[in-house]
A and B are shown apart, each in its own frame.
Chain A
Amino acid sequence: MENKSLSESSFAKRVVRKHLCYGSFDIWFLIILLALVCFGLVMMFSASYPYALNMYNDSTHFISRQAPFAALGIVMMLIISRINPYVWKHYAAPILIIAVLLLLVVFVLPQYKAGFYRWIDLKFTTIQPSEVAKFAVIIAGAVIYDKYKNHMSSSRVATTPIAQKVNKKLGAGIVRESWVPTWLFCGYFILCSLLVFLEKHLSGCILLFAIGVVMMYLGGVRQRWFVIAVASVAVLGTLVCVYIMATKDSDSTNILQGYMKERIVGWLDKDYDPTGTRWQTNQALYAIGSGGFFGKGLGNSTQKYMYVSEPQNDMIFSIVCEELGFVGAAFVIILFVLLVYRGIVIGLHAKTRFESLLAMGIVFQVGLQVLLNIAVATDSIPNTGISLPFFSYGGTSLIMLLCEMGVVLAISRESSLNKK
Chain B
Amino acid sequence: MSKPDNKKRRGVTALRIMALLSAVLIVRLGYLQIIKGDEYAAKAENQQLSDKETTPGRGSIYDANMNVLAQSASVWLVYINPYEINKISDETEREKVREIVVSGLSVILDMDADTIREYTQRDSSYQKVKGEIENDQREEILNLIDKYENEKDPVDLGTIIGINPDVKRYYPYSSLASTVIGFTGTDGVGLAGLEYYYDELLTGESGRTITAIDGNMSQMPNQYETIYAAKEGSSLVLTLDIYIQYILEDVLSEAMETTKAENIYGIVMDVDTGAILGMVSLPDYDLNNPYVIKSETLQKEYEEQLTANYEDATGDEPTEPKSKSYYQNLQWRNRAVSNTYEPGSVFKIITASAALEEGTANLNTSYYCSGSIDYATRTIHCWKLEGHGSETFVDLLKNSCNPFAVTLAGELGTDRYYDYFEAFGFTEKTGLDLPGETTPREGVLYMSRDNFSQSDLASYSFGQSFQVSPIQMITAVAAVANGGKLMTPYIVDKVIDADGKTVSETEPTVKRQVISEKTASIVRDAMEQVVSTGTGKNAYVAGYHVAGKTGTSEKLTEEEEDVYIASFCGFAPAYDPEIAVIIIVDEPEGEHGGGAVAAPLAGEVFEQALEYLGVEHSYTDSELELLVETAPALTGKTVSEARSEVSSKSINVKVVGDGDTVISQYPEAGREIPSDGIIVLYTDEENTSKEVTVPDFTGYTVSEANRIATEYGLNIKISGSSLNSGTVYAYKQSIDQGETVSMGEIITVYFKTTVDVSD
Contacts and interface: CB of A to CB of B under 8 A. Distances in A.
Interface in A196-220: 214, 217-218, 220
Interface in B13-39: 14-15, 18-19, 21-22, 25-26, 28-30, 32-34, 36-39
Given A302-B220, A348-B8, A360-B11, A291 B22 contact: no
Interface in B39-56: 39-41, 43-45, 47-48
Interface in A256-301: 282-283, 285-293
A303 B213 CA distance: 10
A266 B47 CA distance: 21
Nearest to B19: A337
Q: Is the interface of B mostly helix, strand, loop or mixed?
A: helix
A333 B26 contact: yes
Interface stretch (A13-21, A72-80, A323-331): A323-331
B33 A288 contact: yes
Contacts of B37: 289-293
A50 B21 CA distance: 33
A306 interface: yes
A351 to B, nearest CB: 12
Contacts of A111: none
Interface stretch (A120-128, A177-185, A186-194, A339-347): A339-347
B14 A326 contact: no
Interface string B1-14: 00100111011101
Nearest to A364: B14
B40 A340 contact: no
Interface in A206-264: 214, 217-218, 220
Contacts of A289: 32-33, 36-41, 43-44
A54 B218 CA distance: 10
A324 to B, nearest CB: 10
Given A340-B18, A367-B18, A371-B18, A288 B8 contact: no
B28 A303 contact: no
A321 interface: yes
Nearest to B41: A290
Contacts of B11: 218, 344, 347-348, 356, 360
A307 B25 contact: no
B216 interface: yes
A54 B221 CA distance: 11
Interface in B489-547: none
Given A289-B37, A290-B44, A378 B12 contact: no
A32 B216 CA distance: 38
A50 B18 contact: no
A9 interface: no
Interface in B111-145: none
Contact of B47 (A53, A307, A370): A307
Contacts of B221: 50, 53
Given A149-B3, A218-B14, A303-B44, A291 B33 contact: yes
A214 B40 contact: no
A321 B29 contact: yes
Interface in A146-175: 149, 153
A289, A347, A371 pick with most chain B CB within 10 angstroms: A289
B214 interface: yes
A380 B25 contact: yes
A110 B47 CA distance: 40
Nearest to A317: B29
Contact of A333 (B15, B25, B41, B214): B25
A287 to B, nearest CB: 7
Contacts of B36: 289
Contacts of B18: 337, 340, 364, 367, 371
Contact of B29 (A288, A303, A344): A288
B489 to A, nearest CB: 58
A375 interface: yes
Contacts of B212: 302, 305
Contacts of A326: 29-30, 33-34
B15 A378 contact: no
Contacts of B215: 283, 305-307, 309
B22 A336 contact: yes
26 contacts: A50-B220, A217-B14, A218-B10, A220-B10, A285-B40, A288-B29, A290-B44, A291-B37, A293-B34, A303-B48, A305-B220, A306-B215, A307-B47, A307-B48, A329-B29, A330-B26, A333-B25, A334-B22, A337-B18, A337-B19, A337-B22, A340-B18, A341-B15, A341-B19, A360-B14, A378-B32
Given A333-B25, A370-B22, 10 more contacts: A54-B216, A282-B43, A283-B215, A285-B32, A286-B40, A289-B37, A290-B37, A307-B214, A340-B18, A378-B25
8 shortest interchain CB distances as A-B pairs: A289-B40, A306-B215, A305-B214, A286-B44, A307-B215, A290-B41, A306-B214, A326-B33
